[in-house]
Amino acid sequence: MEEISTEVLVVGGGTGGTAAAIQAARRGAQTVLVSEFSWLGGMLTAAGVAAPDGNELAAFHTGLWGAFLRELSQRQAGGLNHAWVSFFTYEPKVGAAIFADWVQQLPNLRWIQGQVPLEVHRTGNTVTGVRFADYQIRARITLDATELGDVLALGEVPHRWGWEWRSQWQEPSAPDRPSQLTEQYPVQAPTWIVVLQDWGEAQAPPIVTPDAALDLPESGLPEAGRPEATEFADTWKGYGAEQFLNYGRLPGNRFMLNWPQQGNDYGVGLQRLVQSERDRHDFLQAAHEHSQRFAHFLQQRLGRRYGLAENTFPQSQDGLGGGAYGLHPYYRESRRLQGLVTVREQDILPHGSWVAALPLNEAGQVEAIAFGNYANDHHYPGFEFALQPKSIRWGGRWTGTPFALPYRCLVPAEIEGLLVCEKNISVSHIANGATRLQPVVLGLGQAAGMAAALCSEQGCQPRDLPVRMLQEALLNEAIAPPMLVPLFSLPPQHPDWLYWQRYYLDHPEAYPAEGCHPDRSSPEPSSHAAAVSPTAQQFLGEFQRRGEQDYQFKIVQPIAYADQTFALVTLRHDVNHQLANFTTGQRLTVKGQLNRSGNWLLVEQALIY
C-alpha cells in the first residue's frame, strides 16, 4: 500500500470534487484527487447528464462553470443548442476530456483512479486522512466529494438523510408529518441515464432487457398487461414522441434520456444506498435494469430506427454502466452534512422581487461563496409534490430566481480538517432541490477547493478561515473568477463587474431586489455584451408580442425559413431589455441560433430594420 502525504485530499471525482481539486491546485496547494471512475465530472459527464440545468443566463457564466461552457463551445462540433430542456448539450466524452485536460495541466495535482474510501482517519475530532484499497493518504484538509457523502458516514461526521418536518425550520413547503410519499422516498429518486441514437435507414440492434422473457418480437408493440406496457405507458403523454426525444437531444442525432414522467427515474428501496455495500450494489443493479427496460420499451414503441448510442461511455469496473448507459446513476440527493449553517427553503426563495436575500453571518457580513438560480425541483416517481414557486419570466422564457450560498454550509459543525463540496452540503431536504444542480455544485466545489488551499496556506481550520479572505481569493482568481453576488445585468467582461461584486459584499442592504446594478459606467451596458458567436445566423422578420416576456418572430429571410414563426428567447441582459421594448409589427434583424427542438430563436443581437 502506497502512503501519501498532501495538503489537500479530494475524495470523489464528480462535479464538485473535480472543481475543488482544480481550484486547490491552481491556488498552489499540493493536491490529491481520488476518483472511483476513469472519467471526471460526475453528473456532467460520467452520469451522462450532458444537459446541465440552471445558471444559464450569460451574466452567470462565470468561474469554472463559465470556463467549462466556453471550452465546450470550442470543442463540441455542431455547437450546444440542440435540446429544449437545456441550452447546452454535448457529448459526455467531450466534457470528460475537458476536465481531464485541466487536471493534467497541473503538476501539483495527482489524480488516482479506481479507488473508493474505506476508512476515515481521525485524531479526536479532526479528520487526518483516508484509507483506500491501495493508498493511505494523510492530508491537512480533506474534502468529501463523493456522490452519496460516504466520507461523512465513514468518519462518523454528523449528517442528515431524509426529510425534515415543517416544525424544524418552518420551511413553507416542508410537510407537517410523515406520509406515504415521505416513507417511500426518504430522498429524491436518482436516474440511470441512457443515450439513444437515431440509426436512420439502418436498423439498430435490438435492445434486450435483463430478463429475456420480456423481449418482444421486433415488429410488435408492448402487449397489454405486460410489465413494460404499464410501467412506461404514459411516458410522453402530453408531449408526443418527437418532443419527448428532443428533450435531451445531443449532437449527432443522439438523445439523452433523463425523463421523470414514467421514465427512468428509479426510487425503489432508496435506503439501500446508505446501508451495506451489498445493499447498494443491489439498488444499482435494479436501477440499471429499470433503465434497460425503459430503453427496450422505447425501441418497441418507436421502432428499430432508434437504438442504443454505442460507445458513449467507457465500461465501468462493476460491469453495470458503460456503452450507452452512464457509468453511475445521476444522484439528486446524498447524505447531507450537519454544518455550521444549514441552507433552508427560505434562503433560496426570492426576497421581495427576483432574488433571495444575501446570506449573512452573525456580524452582518455577507457569506456568499457560490450561487444558483434553478427552480426548486423534486423527483418522486408516482407522486406530485408542490413547492413554493421561485421562477420568473425573463428573456422571453421562464428561469429560476437567483440565490447565494454561504461558506459555512461547507463546514462541519463539530469536526475539523474537513470540507464538503457536492450534494452533501449542509442543506435541508427541501432546499436540496435547487442546490443540487450541476453549475451550483461546480461553484461549491470551486469555493471549497479555494478554501482548502487557503487553510493550508494560513495553517488554520476551515471554521477559522475569514470568509472575506476566501471571497477575495475567488474574485481575484486568475483563470476563472466566479460571481458571488448574483446580478442579472453584469456580464463578466463588464469593466465594473468586480466593483459591484465587492460593493454588495460590503453593502448587503443596498443589494437590489431585481438583481440589477445601477449603471455607473459611461458606455451603454450593451457595449460590454459578449460578441455574437461565429455560428450565429442572421434573420429578417417581424416581431410579435404575445404578452409580458412572451415574444414571437415571423421570419421573412432567409427564404428557407420564410413565414415560419419561432419564439424569441435570450440569455443576455442587454437583449432582454431590447425585447421588452420592441412593439408588435416592428421589423428586426436578428442574429442568433435556431433551435427546432424548442421552436425558439436564441437571440444574441437584435436591431430594428
Instruction: Encode pLDDT of 42-95 as tens digits.
Output: 999 999 999 999 999 999 999 999 999 999 999 999 899 999 999 999 999 999
> What pLDDT is stored for residue 318 in this prediction?
76
User: What's the pLDDT score for residue 222?
Assistant: 46
For residue range 282-291, list pLDDT tens digits in order: 999 999 999 9
Tell me: cis bond preceding 558? Omega within 30 of 0 counts. Answer: yes
CA dihedral 290, 42, 250, 189 (to 10 degrees): 40
Please compute, for residue 313, the number of CA atoms within 13 A of its CA located in the half-sphere on the CB side.
Answer: 35
Cell 476566501 locates to: 470
Which whole number is the average pLDDT over 258-267?
95
Query: Locate cell 475539523: which residue?
Result: 416
Give the C-alpha distances (Å, rounded to integers) separating 370 from 148, 246, 464.
Answer: 21, 31, 19
Residue among 198, 231, 199, 197 at smallest CA distance from 214: 231
Count of H helices and E strands in the chain? Answer: 15, 22
Beta bridge partners of 307: 197
Does 521 score more than 90 pLDDT?
Answer: no
pLDDT higher than 90, residue 362: yes
Query: Residue 445: which H helix or E strand, with range?
Result: helix 438-458
Task: Evaluate whether 192 touches 257 at the Cβ level (below 8 Å).
Answer: no
Q: Are 300 and 220 in contact (CB under 8 A)?
A: yes
**Beta carbons within 10 angstroms of residue 120's beta carbon:** 23
pLDDT of 226 = 55
Structural element, H or E, at residue 550: strand 550-557
For 449, residues 6+ apart whose C-beta sits below 8 A from its C-beta are: 8, 10, 19, 20, 21, 22, 23, 24, 25, 27, 31, 143, 421
pTM of the model: 0.95
Q: Among 420, 406, 414, 413, which residue's Cα sits nearest to residue 449?
A: 420
pLDDT tens digits, one per residue of 429-448? 999 999 999 999 999 999 99
Q: Could you please state the CATH topology (level 3) that the domain comprising 537-608 is classified under.
A: OB fold (Dihydrolipoamide Acetyltransferase, E2P) (2.40.50)
Average pLDDT over residues 32-51: 97
In contact, 388 and 173? CB cutoff 8 Å: yes
Contacts of 450 (CB under 8 A, 6+ apart): 23, 24, 27, 470, 473, 474, 477
Residue 605, pLDDT score: 95
Q: Given this model, what pLDDT does residue 530 score?
A: 63
Return all residues near 522 (Cβ < 8 A) that are at least 6 apart: none
Vertex 63: Cα angle to 61 and 67 (nearest 5): 70
Q: What is the pLDDT of residue 213?
A: 46
Spell out where 185-318 has E strands.
Answer: 194-198, 249-250, 254-257, 306-308
Homologous superfamily, domain 2-162+332-510: FAD/NAD(P)-binding domain (3.50.50.60)
Give 382-440 as a 3 state SS string: CCCCCCCCCEEEECCEEEECCEEEEHHHHCECCCECEEECCCCCCECCCCHHHHCCHHH
Domain layout of the chain by residue ranges: 2-162+332-510, 194-308, 537-608
Q: What value does the mean pLDDT take over residues 82-110?
A: 97
CA dihedral 273, 264, 438, 101 (to 10 degrees): 90
CA distance 415 to 125: 5
- Helix H or strand E encompassing 136: strand 135-144
Tell me: pLDDT of 334 over 70.
Answer: yes
Q: Is 514 exposed, middle or buried (0-12, 13-18, 19+ CB in 10 A)?
A: middle
Per residue in 534-551, pLDDT tens? 889 999 999 999 999 999
pLDDT for residue 221: 46
Q: How many angstroms separate the Cα of 599 from the Cα of each of 16, 258, 326?
A: 33, 20, 28
What single string gives the DSSP state of each residue in 55-90? --SGGG--HHHHHHHHHHHHHSTT-S---SS-S---
Q: What is the pLDDT of residue 352?
A: 81
pLDDT band for 343, please (50, 70, 90 cuts): very high
Query: Helix, strand or coil for residue 128?
Result: strand
* Cβ neighbours, 10 Å, residue 179: 11
Neighbouring residues of 487: CB distance < 8 A, sequence distance ≥ 6: 59, 500, 501, 504, 515, 516, 517
pLDDT tens digits for range 389-403: 999 999 999 999 999
pLDDT of residue 524: 42
| Average pLDDT of the chain to the nearest whole number | 94
Contact of 575 with 609, CB cutoff 8 Å: no
Question: Would you say residue 125 has pLDDT above 80?
Answer: yes
- The model's pLDDT over 186-235, given as tens digits with 9 standing for 90+, comes to 999 999 999 999 999 889 999 998 875 444 444 444 444 455 667 899 99
pLDDT at 609: 85
Say what the pLDDT of residue 227 is.
Answer: 58
